[in-house]
Amino acid sequence: MIATPKSLAIEHLEAFRKVVGHSAVFVDKEVLSNYAHDETEDLHFLPDVVIKPSSAQEVSAVLTICNQYGIPVTPRGAGTGLSGGALPHLGGVLLSIERMNKIIDIDERNLQVITESGVITEVLQEAVKSKRLFYPPDPSSRGSCMIGGNISENSGGPKAVKYGVVKDYVMNLEVVLPTGEIIWTGANVLKNATGYNLTQLIVGSEGTLGIVTKAVLKLIPLPKYDLLMLVPFRDPVKACAAVSAIFMCGYTPSALEFMERDALEFAMRFIDNCIVPIGDDVQAHLLIEVDGNDVDVLMREIEGISEIVMQFDCGEILFAEDAQQKAELWKLRRRVAEAVKANSIYKEEDTVVPRAELPLLLKGVKEIGKKYGFHSVCYGHAGDGNLHVNIIKGDLTDEQWNGSLKKGIVEIFELVKTLGGTISGEHGIGLVQKEYLPIVFEETQMRLMKQIKKIFDPNNILNAGKIFD
């Protein structure tokens, strides 16, 4: 039982200062409020203390104190999460990994990188890119999100369709357990059949099982060329149908993104001087990228894909002419989420289904929206079957928003399950989706997960109340 968590964290301030130094412990209101929210809806929870350790040893020392006294700890990367995983909803200690921000070794001989977990994803990508290496997983927030957060959420991003998600790049992790023990989960190798896969148990565990302090990540050779096309469709459902057709013909694009008309329009209004002409009858776009080391092959792929999408009643395809136009199109896509969110109060659902079921999912979402009176803006990583459904508050009353809307969300998730999918592809369950988890897991899986949590965190101090209660 955590009786009075707030006072407990403050009570042990001196102990924290002793183990991490005065300059790593913050209690002033301004700092606390900076760490009170992430990118999940409009949720705010003040921590009692913010601690910024600089090493696994310091993390261990902090956790040891918290474990001894039952002080809640919320680990945090950059706070760009979309399911509330980094929200300190129980107060207590907010443990930021931001000072563990060194890339330790880019190992060009073995195509791997050893990094601290507080490194910003884009910083890591650029560092390895300078050595012609590639770390593909990058959420839209890559400019600010951190490797540690990405690992906790098993993030994806646009390249996942060809290159896989974070879990496919994590070979070994240094993790501090809630009990203060520091472990490495595996080895720095591409294949491993040595005991249970503790590495993959930590990936995607949303900071509930341990705090990742270092990661050994697989790298691949950087593809030399890419081509990008933007395909407009009159019918969003047909745009979704085109997605699986492309893969069925043997193509594997390096990105295949879907955006409803609203999504792109919001993004254009949000970003200055970034305009793509959209015909009046256009209702959705696919942004399709291919990459590789041979331009001729890519040209043929783009031609082949063009022929396929034309069978789905598309409009005139825009082929990005140069690096600048590619960058602009990607900027539009990457900032859709922000733009949609700036436009209205919203709830974002992170549905994922087998990709050929996307048309049924989109149709279903719109029908459920009609039934419950909500408008949604949909976009996402269509190649993975991952559709972000942004439900817009619009004219809904607070009563509807906080009440009957939930039934609509449940219906969406039940549809997702029926289609072979699940309720989060890359955002995680965190705080705001946990009530829906029993839609996809029965009592047995829930029990297994809760027991696993208990093994790692017997006193339930670390990110308690995330994923499940």
Q: Please report, as residue ranges, which positions from 112 to 131 form the binding site for a second copy (by CB under 8 A).
A: 112
Helix (H, G, I), strand (E, B) or coil at 379: strand
Which residue is it, tokens 């002419």?
321
Q: What is the DSSP letter of 459?
A: T
Task: Rule CB under 8 A: say whether 337 interacts with a second copy.
Answer: no
Count of Cβ atoms closer than 10 Å to residue 451 Cβ: 9
Residue 74: name the closest of 97, 94, 104 by CA. 94
Cα(102)–Cα(156) distance, rounded to whole angstroms?
22
CB of 14 or CB of 443, closer to a second copy: 443
Q: Which is nearer to a second copy, 10 or 360 (CB)?
A: 360
Of the residues 429, 431, 432, 461, which one makes contact with a second copy according to CB under 8 A:
429
Position 278 contacts a second copy (CB under 8 A): no
DSSP label of 462? B
Q: Looking at 160, 237, 256, 462, which residue binds a second copy (CB under 8 A)?
A: 160
Q: Where are the beta strands (DSSP E) in 122-179?
A: 133-134, 170-176
SS3 of 63-84: HHHHHHHCCCEEEECCCCCCCC
Of 46-54, 242-250, 280-288, 404-412, which segment contacts a second copy by CB under 8 A? 242-250
Does residue 181 belong to the site contacting a second copy (CB under 8 A)? yes
Q: Does 345 bind a second copy (CB under 8 A)?
A: no
| By CB under 8 A, residue 165 contacts a second copy | yes
Question: Which residues between 26 and 45 bind a second copy (CB under 8 A)?
Answer: none
C-alpha closest to that of 137 among 449, 458, 425, 341: 425
Q: CA 29, CA 50: separation in Å to the nearest integer?
A: 10
Which of 132, 269, 331, 407 binds a second copy (CB under 8 A)? It is 132
Name the minimum Å distance from CB 245 to a second copy: 9
| 46-105: contacts with a second copy (CB under 8 A) | none
* Region binding a second copy by CB under 8 A among candidate stretches 11-19, 86-94, 152-160, 265-273: 152-160
When the beta carbons of 118 and 149 are compared against a second copy, the nearer one is 149
Q: Which is nearer to a second copy, 187 or 342 (CB)?
A: 187
Strand order across the 386-392 sheet: 318-319, 225-233, 284-292, 255-260, 375-381, 386-392, 346-352
Residues in 94-113 that interact with a second copy by CB under 8 A: 107-112
Give residues 366-405 in contact with a second copy (rule: CB under 8 A): 381, 384-386
The least distance separating a second copy from the CB of residue 229, rounded to whole angstroms, comes to: 19
Measured from the CB atom, the residue of 275 and 297 that comes closer to a second copy is: 297
Contact (Cβ atoms closer than 8 angstroms) between residue 380 and residue 284:
no
Least distance in angstroms from the C-beta of 425 to a second copy: 5
**Using rule CB under 8 A, residue 191 touches a second copy:** yes
DSSP letter (8 states) at residue 120: B
Helix (H) or strand (E) holding 51: strand 49-51
Single residue of 17, 129, 167, 406 touching a second copy by CB under 8 A: 167
Distance of closest approach, residue 86 Cβ to a second copy, in angstroms: 14
Question: Please, which residue, 317 or 452, has the CB nearer to a second copy?
Answer: 452
| Closest by CA position to 167, among listed 135, 203, 215, 117 | 203
